[in-house]
């Protein structure tokens, strides 16, 4: 009689026979030898394959179908190359990679699979930010692009983002991340791949000329007004990632003094030794940067996440020597306001979970506004004439004609331009936020985020609040909007809004909270205090209770 352990052993041995990586084979061999004691670990690894989510493939570095490893990448790359051929797509496949464990090997394997199938492959000449890869897709008229990165995930993760060129992505998707039905088509092509031992491998591709990288830097600097002020002291960290060199080149090209860099985080390091999570949003992640900013008397502190597609900014606090990070919504609206005042034409877009302040600003300035589902793959498709897009998770697209994705380098340049201009006028980013609050009220945002080990916990929480949503929040009647197809629930009152959804990139349930508080008697600080207190003492507990958390 066949037991569950026997079936699990059979699955693992079948995978083992087709795995092209000696290290992964050794890892699985040890786990098989450890049965039945290793059954839970093996069962998790064979619970199902990684699938394309908000950011393509992303998962832990480990052997088996439910992990990032050479076998999974080989299958994914083969499926992608086969799908591109089936669509009749012409042109090269461009490939970039970060400094995480396995990234270079995964990139090289992808290139060999493309060339083995008769398609040209062009590989970035070293580790570079994700926005440079997204730019190269357009600059080199590629059929598609692959970026091997797990962005801001923990050190044990890696990932695989796919971009399409103009031919298959269309004008709005030229150089943008994949969306349905392409993702489903690629997944189907991946499932159709047979034995990996039969996949032909060619040469490791052609290195992309440095002039492409220089072209990105030159055009990034050109986003700014060349005649604007440049007197600005900046503290910066690439957070052990790959943004440092490109950031410095772009700042120099734009005419800014080179920033002071956090020495402990300046060089790429896949272990990310100074942070628990290499994500500027995480508590403590920017501590070294804020200490450097205070030490140097900086005007501005800027952090990129490890693949430099996100940008975090901190400003001096109310107390001398203190610093506070801006929220993604605060920076998002500041950049939008700056571009609008520069008369940048087109539509300004954000997502359903971001602050409602951008909508109010656009309505007041008679500027086109669009709202999309969460994720930059949707934001950049929010309008054909997109001028700017942002999401609250520190993502900003300030130059859609350059990079049709979030770009932490150009966002950093633009906020530096804004800060330098305000400094020259005797003001600051904090002063401009106060002016916006006086005009539109305080839009205080917060987030309730719960990380889980069992994804079914998220499913149960979403089911609970759908079946029994709160009748009131902050004492006001609630209107419920359920976007079931996107698994997003919105609760709205006259002065508050809550958007609840599972994360697309991490095992988290997220609730995005916003309270709008008018400013009375010109006292912005008092309005901020009232909004923050209402959120912390009433709204957060109400939402947590409704979710059963």
Cite the active site residues.
151
* 3 state SS of 231: coil
The DSSP annotation for 316-379 comes to E-SSTT-EEEPPHHHHHHHHHHHHHHTT--SEEEEETTS-THHHHHHHHHT--EEEE-SSHHHH
> Which one, of 175, 176, 253, lies nearest residue 217 by Cα?
253
CA distance 506 to 509: 9
In order of 30, 35, 473, the CA distances from 96 in angstroms are: 33, 39, 46
Neighbours of 266 (CB within 10 A): 15
Encoding tokens for residue 81? 């190359």
The verdict on whether omega for the bond into residue 36 sits within 30 degrees of 0, i.e. cis, is yes
Note whether 512 and 445 are within 8 A (CB): yes
Note whether 194 and 79 are within 8 A (CB): no
Q: Which residues pair with 510 in a beta bridge?
A: 449, 501
Q: Find the distance separating the first CA and the last CA of the chain, reported in whole Å.
A: 43
Task: Work out the widest C-alpha separation in the chain, in whole angstroms.
Answer: 81
* 3 state SS of 497: strand
* 3 state SS of 121: strand
Q: Under the phi-then-psi rule, with left for phi > 0, alpha for psi from -120 to 50, and beta for the rest, what region is 513?
A: beta
CA distance 546 to 540: 10
Residue 109: which residues within 8 A CB-CB, separation 6 or more? 70, 73, 74, 77, 201
CA distance 405 to 381: 10
The DSSP annotation for 174-189 comes to TTEE--TTHHHHHHHH
CA distance 65 to 18: 12
Encoding tokens for residue 410? 């150009």
Torsion of CA 533, 435, 290, 265, to 10 degrees: 110
Q: At what angle do helices 103-116 and 70-86 cross, to 10 degrees?
A: 40
Strands 369-372 and 347-351, bridge-based pairing: parallel
């Amino acid at each position: 009689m066949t037991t569950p352990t026997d079936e699990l052993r059979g699955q693992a041995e079948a995978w083992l026979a087709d795995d092209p990586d000696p290290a992964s084979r050794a890892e699985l061999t040890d786990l098989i030898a450890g049965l039945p004691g290793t059954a839970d670990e093996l069962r998790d690894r064979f619970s199902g394959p990684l699938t394309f989510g908000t950011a393509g493939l992303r998962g832990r570095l480990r052997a088996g179908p439910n992990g990032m490893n050479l076998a999974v990448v080989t299958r994914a790359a083969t499926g992608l190359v086969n799908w591109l051929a089936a669509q009749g797509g012409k042109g090269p496949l461009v490939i970039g990679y970060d400094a995480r464990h396995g990234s270079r090997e995964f990139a090289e394997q992808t290139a060999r699979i493309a060339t083995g199938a008769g398609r040209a492959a062009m590989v970035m000449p070293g580790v570079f930010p994700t926005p440079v890869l997204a730019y190269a897709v357009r600059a080199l008229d590629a059929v598609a692009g692959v970026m091997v990165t797990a962005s801001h995930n923990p050190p044990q993760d890696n990932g695989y983002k796919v971009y399409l060129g103009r031919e298959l992505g269309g004008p709005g998707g030229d150089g943008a991340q994949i969306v349905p039905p392409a993702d489903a088509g690629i997944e189907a092509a991946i499932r159709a791949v047979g034995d990996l031992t039969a996949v032909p491998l060619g040469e490791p591709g052609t290195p992309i000329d440095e002039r492409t990288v220089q072209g990105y830097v030159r055009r990034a600097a050109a986003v700014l007004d060349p005649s604007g002020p440049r007197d600005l002291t900046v503290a910066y960290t690439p957070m052990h990632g790959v943004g440092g060199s490109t950031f410095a080149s772009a700042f120099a090209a734009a005419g800014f003094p080179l920033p002071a860099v956090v020495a402990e985080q300046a060089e790429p390091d896949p272990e990310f030794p100074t942070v628990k999570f290499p994500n500027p949003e995480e508590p403590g992640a920017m501590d070294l940067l804020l200490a450097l900013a205070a030490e140097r008397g900086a005007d501005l502190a800027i952090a990129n996440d490890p693949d430099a597609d996100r940008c975090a900014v901190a400003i001096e606090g109310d107390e001398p020597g203190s610093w506070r990070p801006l929220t993604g919504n605060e920076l998002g609206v500041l950049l939008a306001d700056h571009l609008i005042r520069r008369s940048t034409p087109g539509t300004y877009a954000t997502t359903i979970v971001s602050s409602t302040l951008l909508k109010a600003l656009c309505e007041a300035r008679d500027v086109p506004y669009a709202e999309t589902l969460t994720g930059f793959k949707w934001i950049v498709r929010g309008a054909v004439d997109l001028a700017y897009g942002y999401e609250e998770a520190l993502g900003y697209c300030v130059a859609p004609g350059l990079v049709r994705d979030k770009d932490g380098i150009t966002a950093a340049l633009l906020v530096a331009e804004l800060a330098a201009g305000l400094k020259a006028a005797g003001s600051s980013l904090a002063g401009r936020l106060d002016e916006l609050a006086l005009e539109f009220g305080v839009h205080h945002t917060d987030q309730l985020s719960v990380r889980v080990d069992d994804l079914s916990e998220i499913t149960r929480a979403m089911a609970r609040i759908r079946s029994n949503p709160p009748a009131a929040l902050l004492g006001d009647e609630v209107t419920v909007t359920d976007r079931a197809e996107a698994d997003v629930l919105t609760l709205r009152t006259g002065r508050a809004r809550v958007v609840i959804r599972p994360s697309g990139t991490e095992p988290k349930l997220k609730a995005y909270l916003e309270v709008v508080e008018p400013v009375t008697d010109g006292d912005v600080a008092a309005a901020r205090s009232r909004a923050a207190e209402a959120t912390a003492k009433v709204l957060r507990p109400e939402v947590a209770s409704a979710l059963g958390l």
